[in-house]
């Protein structure tokens, strides 16, 4: 992955919104989605946690 492709992904995903609930995404949520394998369908942190079967605070703490 190049810096340019990461920037394009961040811009695209931020404009598209969460693949599950359609809420707006910040760049942190997009980066978490990419890291966790949801590059083509980024999710907000609540939907990421739900899709992984984790409580949202547990996912947040693990990502930190």
**pTM for this structure?**
0.77
Proportion of the chain in helix, strand, coil states, percent, rounded to 5 = 60, 0, 40
Please indicate whether residue 45 or residue 15 has the higher confidence score (pLDDT): 45
Please indicate whether residue 9 or residue 30 has the higher confidence score (pLDDT): 30
What does the pLDDT look like over 20-57, one tens digit per residue?
Answer: 999 999 888 988 998 999 988 999 999 999 999 999 99
For residue 19, pLDDT over 70 is answered with yes
Position 9 scores a pLDDT of 73
- The dihedral over CA atoms of 55, 57, 14, 40, expressed in degrees to the nearest 10, equals -40
Position 6 scores a pLDDT of 78
Burial tier of 63 (Cβ tally within 10 Å: 0-12, 13-18, 19+): middle
């Amino acid at each position: 992955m190049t810096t340019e492709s990461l920037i394009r992904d961040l811009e695209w995903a931020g404009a598209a919104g969460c693949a599950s609930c359609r809420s707006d995404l910040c760049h942190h949520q997009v980066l978490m989605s990419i890291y966790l394998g949801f590059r083509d369908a980024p999710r907000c942190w609540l939907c990421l946690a739900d899709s992984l079967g984790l409580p949202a605070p547990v996912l947040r703490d693990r990502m930190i």
